């Protein structure tokens, strides 16, 4: 009897030890995954800045500072008037980790065709003040501030079009949905809906396996840094935009799959919309694949609307 009780006591102690050991290991793994995910989340919200290298050559431009809607951040950009000024301006919205120089050759072509151009750096990009990059959530405030700047500069007697790339395209859509005075929007390489997009494609940006890191980044990292991907829904915004949209996307895009543009075009369902899938282009590469054709299509689209 004594031996039996003794063995039972030892078994219980071992069982308790292994249970505590297992729980401890699980806790360490959980904390480690948490720490890695928080570190990656911070890096994703703070991409390395691309510096503004050089000034526009042989172009008239004006250095501009302005503020986002309801914030005191200082944003920087250039206003470039066309030589034969008309009452119309195209505002550029650059992509994730980019700056005002993104697709500047397209901006030059618009200038040559009598459109004023306004290029600027989103928060946390180029020469604008630091904050965090939110893939459209807060960048919408920046673009609203840029629109307000143009409206105030010309006393609201001005027609405005938007052209955005990737993050900037998504931002252009959710911004235009709130600004019916925007006459036309070009969306190049936009995702359709940020939260579902990240669930399926986050490893492209995090360089970590989807399991288990997606859950930690999307549930803990986002909350910790105060961002909400669920608020960035171009697929909802395009339904609320009355102005025509020109959707552009590369068939070989391995960062934002081309099925995103199909969804956006279908949900918009505006008969004046256009869509162009570029066979040889990757992510935001349509202009590089065929600049002349690209600028021709974009200029013709804006000419018919502004």
- 264 touches 234 (CB < 8 A): yes
Report the distance separating Cα 259 and Cα 166, nearest Å. Answer: 14
- Residue 297 sits at the vertex; the CA angle it makes with 296 and 298, to the nearest 5 degrees, is 95
Q: What is the mean pLDDT of residues 41-57?
A: 93
- With cut-offs at 50, 70 and 90, classify the pLDDT of residue 2: low
HSE value, Cβ hemisphere, 13 Å, CA-based, for 151: 11
Average pLDDT, the chain: 93
**pLDDT(132) > 60:** yes
Q: Please confirm whether the linkage preceding 230 is cis (ω < 30° from 0).
A: no
Report the distance separating Cα 280 and Cα 132, nearest Å. Answer: 33
Domain map (residue ranges) of the chain: 1-45+194-225, 57-193+232-305
Strand boundaries in the chain, DSSP class E: 62-66, 75-80, 88-93, 116-120, 159-165, 182-188, 245-250, 274-278
* Nearest C-alpha neighbor of 64 from the set 126, 110, 118: 118
Class of domain 57-193+232-305: alpha beta
Report the distance separating Cα 126 and Cα 136, nearest Å. Answer: 16
Report the distance separating Cα 239 and Cα 65, nearest Å. Answer: 32
**pLDDT(86) > 90:** no
Give the count of beta carbons closer than 10 Å to the beta carbon of residue 219: 11
Q: What is the pLDDT of residues 146-158, one digit of tens each?
A: 999 999 999 888 8
């Amino acid at each position: 009897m004594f031996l039996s009780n003794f063995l039972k006591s030892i078994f219980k102690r071992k069982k308790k030890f292994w249970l505590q050991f297992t729980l401890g290991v699980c806790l360490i793994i959980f904390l480690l995954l948490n720490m890695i995910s928080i570190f990656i989340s911070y890096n994703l919200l703070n991409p390395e800045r691309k510096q503004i290298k050089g000034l526009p050559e042989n172009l008239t431009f004006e250095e501009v500072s302005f503020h986002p809607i309801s914030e005191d951040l200082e944003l920087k950009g250039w206003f470039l008037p066309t030589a034969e000024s008309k009452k119309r301006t195209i505002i550029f919205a650059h992509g994730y980790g980019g700056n005002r120089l993104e697709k500047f050759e397209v901006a030059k072509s618009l200038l040559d065709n009598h459109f004023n151009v306004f290029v600027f750096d989103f928060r946390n990009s180029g020469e604008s003040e630091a904050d965090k990059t939110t893939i459209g959530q807060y960048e919408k405030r920046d673009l609203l501030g840029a629109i307000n700047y143009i409206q105030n500069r010309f006393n609201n007697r001005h027609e405005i079009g938007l052209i955005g790339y990737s993050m900037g395209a998504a931002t252009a859509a959710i911004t235009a949905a709130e600004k019916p005075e925007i006459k036309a929007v070009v969306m190049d390489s936009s995702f359709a809906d940020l939260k579902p997009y990240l669930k399926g494609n986050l490893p492209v940006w995090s360089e970590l396996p989807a399991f288990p890191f997606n859950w930690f980044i999307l549930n803990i990292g986002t909350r910790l840094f105060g961002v909400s991907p669920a608020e960035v829904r171009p697929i909802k915004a395009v339904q609320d935009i009355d102005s025509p949209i020109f959707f552009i996307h590369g068939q070989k895009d391995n960062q934002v799959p081309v099925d995103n543009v199909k969804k956006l075009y279908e949900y918009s369902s505006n008969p004046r919309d256009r869509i162009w899938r570029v066979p040889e282009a990757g992510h935001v590469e349509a202009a590089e694949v065929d600049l002349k054709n690209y600028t021709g299509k974009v200029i013709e689209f804006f000419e018919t609307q502004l």
